[in-house]
Structure 1
Amino acid sequence: MTADDPLTSEVIRLFAKVTDRYTREYEAAAAHHGLTPQQVKALIALDEAPLPMRRVAERLGAEPSNLTGIVDRLQNRGLVERRPEPNDRRIKLLATTDAGKAAAQDLRSRLRFASDPLAALNEDQRRDLRDLLQLMTEE
């Protein structure tokens, strides 16, 4: 299977189209809130549950040292806060504030390109797509 194969070429073209549209939508949603795409990713990850900095960095594929600046800027805007971990006070958890939760909810509502087409798929199709994407992204 090579890029010269018509099916492979079509799949690559479709991936590029999806990626381009998703990137444009993501950047527009971030800009609406005066955030960078990385700040949006961090905010949405934290909105699910408070997490240690290391886990957020893993989710974003970022180094913890780079994440510190992202989190500092989100904290300065009142969107996230650092909390002590109840079972180990040496660990700081990152969590969204009420303002951060509202911003994350608004951001999700603006990111329709990704969710609308997925809604057209039934649950089995979404599972199949997820499994194929996981297979393609395994390292």
Structure 2
Amino acid sequence: MTATRPRRTDPLTREVVELIGAVVARYHQEYEEAAARHGLTGAQARVLGLLALDPLPMRQIAQRLKCEPSNVTGIVDRLEARGLVERRPSPGDRRVKLAAATEEGARVAGSLRDSLDFAREPLNGLDREQRLALRDMLRTMVGAQ
């Protein structure tokens, strides 16, 4: 059995990876701060953001957030207590409960999303073609997984 040697990364790829990491770190920091301004934890804000798009069963929320369903239950309980989320039966299977954003929850999720400015300003400095190219490259990277 031969040991595999680590692949060398060229300096440009290394720099791009580090820049992506910096963007992700800044996004998470701003997201946490925006969530706190709305009296939410980052996890609560992420769940609310998902549910503002579509009602989902707990298991699917957990899969998307890569966490345990029991964690999602506690988060949804707290959001429900604040009137931001409600549980309702699934139209396809009434045994399955869906979590869904209430009208107030959708409003808070929209306000939270609109308050994330850190990337908006630099992106406004790019012209439409540059933004399209960046979007397409990011789509390619995400699809490559």
- From 2, 12, 21, the counterpart of 2:8: 2
TM-score, normalised to structure 1, is: 0.86
The number of residues matched between the two structures is: 135
Match of 1:59 in 2: 64
Gaps spanning 5+ residues in structure 1: where? none
Letter matched to residue 132 of structure 2 = E
Q: Which has the higher helix share?
A: 1
Please give the alpha-carbon distance, in whole angstroms, between the structure 1 residues aligned to 2:62 and 2:54. Answer: 14
Percent identity between the aligned chains? Answer: 52
> SS at 2:95's partner residue?
strand
Alignment RMSD (CA, Å): 1.9
Gaps spanning 5+ residues in structure 2: where? 1-6
- From 11, 16, 21, the counterpart of 2:21: 16
Match of 1:130 in 2: 139
Contact 1:118 1:126 in 2 (8 A): no
User: Could you tell me how far 1:85 is from its partner in structure 2?
Assistant: 1.0
TM-score, normalised to structure 2, is: 0.83
Letter matched to residue 97 of structure 1 = T
